[in-house]
Structure 1
Amino acid sequence: MDTSIARRNILARIRAAQGREPEPSASEREAAADYLARHPPGPRPDMPADLTARFIEEAQKLSTTIDTVESLSDVPIAAHRYLVEHALPLQAIAWQTLQDLRWSDAGLTVEFRKPKDGDVVGLTGCFCATAETGSLVLLSGPETYASAGLLPETHIAIVPASRIVAGHEEAFALIRSERGELPRAVNFVSGPSRTGDIEQTIVLGAHGPYRVHVIVVLGA
C-alpha cells in the first residue's frame, strides 16, 4: 500500500495549523538548504581511500556475508551459488528493477513482486551503501518495495561498488541531490535482524531476515 498521499495530507494539516501553505515554498526549501550548508557535520572517523574494502570489513562484523563479482551479469550465478551452498530454495522474489538480469539462465526462478507468506528469499538492489557502518541504504518505491528486504528470511542485496559512500551524511546528501526529497521509507540495513532481549543473548532473525548476503559488483 502506498501511503505517500496520506503522508502529504498529514503534513499539509500540520502546516495549515502553523499558518503555512500546504506545500513548502521555494524560499523555505532554499532556507533549509542554506541551514544545512552553514552547519557542517561534527567530528567523524577518518575513512580510507578504498571505501569498498571498508564497507566489506564493517558489513562482515555485522554477520553480513559478502561475495564480489566483476559485473552485473555475474550476479545471478553468484546468487545461485550462495543459495546452493546454504541449501536454500532456488526461488526468490525481487525488485522490478532487477528484471533485466538473466536469473533463469543461472537456474533461479525469480518473481518480480512483493513478498508473501512462504517466500524465503528476497533479492534487492540498493540506493547506496555506507562504508563507515557496513549498511545498505534502501529507498522504497513502486518498483523497490521495502518488504522485499524485510519479510523473507534470506535477503540478498546487490551493491555496485560505485554506490558505496563514506557515511550516513553522504547517503542523505546523495538522496537530496538525486531524488530531491525523501521517499516514503528509507531503510538502513545493518546485517541480519537481531535482538538481545532474552538473557542478553543475541538471536538473529528476530524482526526480519536471518541472513543478509551482499553481492558487491566491482565494475558497476
Structure 2
Amino acid sequence: MSRDQILAKVRAAISDATPQLQRRAAAEARVAKPSRSAPPLQRVSRPTQELIEVFKYELGRQSANVIEAQGSIPQSIAAYLQEAALPPTLRCGSDSRLTRLQWRDAPTLALQHGPAAAQDGIGLSHAFCGIAETGTLALLSGPENPVTLCFLPDTHIVVVRRSDIVASYEDAYVRLRHLLGERRMPRTLNLISGPSRTADIGGKIVIGAHGPRRLCVVIDNTN
C-alpha cells in the first residue's frame, strides 16, 4: 500500500469520526486557552525558599556549580573564574539584564558582545527561568542571548533571577505564554540541565562532547 493510500485511509477515518469544523473548533479553543497537561509534582509544590533548594540540589546532582549572589553579580563571576583558574574574558549577547550590571565592580573581567565563536572559552547568558523539578535552565534564543553561547564555549555561565525559578515545566510554559502573548515565539527554547555529556561510545560518560564542560549557575537574589 502506498503512502498516499495510507494517508487517504487515515483522513477518511478521522473525517468519519469527527466533522472537520468540529475538529477545527476544538483545536482553536485549545490554542486560545491552553490547559496544563499535568499537575505539579508534590516535591516541587513548595514555598519559594524550599523551591530554590530543590533547584540547587538538582543542579548539583548534574555536576553544575551554583552561586547565590547576594551582592555584585560581576564580583561573584570573577571569584568563580579565579577559583576555577579560568581566563577572565566572557562573551555575552545584548540582554539588558546583563549589560546594565555594574561590571566596573570586577575590573579584572573583560566583557565582549555578540554570538560566540570557536575561540571563545566562556559564554555568559541570562535564563528566561529556572525549573526546580529537574534543575533545568530555560533560555530563549535571540540576539539578547545567542544560542551559540550555550554550546560553543567550554564554560557556560548562566544568570537566573530568584523570582524566575518555577516549580515545573508546565509553569515555565505558562510564563512564556504570559510574556509573549500573541507575539512570535522565539526560534528555539533551550533546556539546559548541566554540562554537556554523552555515553554514546562504549557506554562511558564523556563530559563536553557536544557542548560546555562546565556549567555555572548564578542565582540573582537581588530582586
- TM-score scaled to structure 2, two decimals? 0.80
Work out whether residues 153 and 205 of structure 1, in 8 Å CA contact, stay in contact via their aligned partners in 2.
Answer: yes
Output aligned runs, 1:100-119, within 5 Å: 100-106=100-106, 107-119=108-120
Matched residue, 2:64: 64
1:17-36, aligned counterparts within 5 Å? 30-34=29-33, 36=34
Q: Per the alignment, do residues 104 and 151 of structure 1 end up closer, same or farther by CA in structure 2, a change over 3 Å counting?
A: farther
Contact 2:122 2:157 in 1 (8 A): yes
SS in 1 for 2:133: coil
> How far does residue 28 in structure 1 lie from its aligned partner after superposition?
6.3
Unaligned 5+ runs, structure 2: 1-25
Distance verdict in 2 for CA 1:91–1:40, change over 3 Å = closer
Q: 1:99 and 1:42, CA in 2 relative to 1: closer, same or farther beyond 3 A?
A: closer
SS in 2 for 1:68: strand
Give the alignment's Cα RMSD to 1 decimal: 2.1
1:175 and 1:29 mapped to 2: Cα distance?
Answer: 19
Closer/same/farther in 2, CA of residues 40 and 115 from structure 1, 3 Å limit:
closer
Instruction: Supply the distance in 1 between the matched residues of 2:30 and 2:170 (Cα, whole angstroms).
Output: 19
Q: How many residues align?
A: 192
Q: Secondary structure at the match of 1:118?
A: coil
Cα drift, residue 199 of structure 1 = 2.2
Superposed, 1:52-131 pairs within 5 Å as: 52-71=52-71, 74-97=72-95, 98-106=98-106, 107-131=108-132
Q: What is the letter of the counterpart of residue 189 of structure 1?
A: I
CA distance 1:168–1:89, change in 2 (3 Å): same
Cα shift readout 1:75-133 (whole Å, capped 9, x = no counterpart): 10111111111111110101211211232440100011111121000011100000000
Give the 5 Å matches for 1:150-189. 150-180=151-181, 181-189=184-192
Number of the residue aligned with 1:20 = none
Gaps of 5+ in 1: 1-26
Structure 1 residues 52 and 206, CA gap change in structure 2 (3 angstroms): same
- Does the 8 A contact of 2:150 with 2:156 survive in 1? yes
Give the 5 Å matches for 1:175-214. Answer: 175-180=176-181, 181-214=184-217
> Over alpha carbons, which structure has the higher Rg?
2
Q: Which residue of 1 aligns with 2:7?
A: none
**Residue aligned with 2:102, SS:** coil
Contact 1:91–1:110 under 8 Å retained in 2 = yes
By how many angstroms is 1:30 displaced?
4.4
- Identical positions, percent: 36
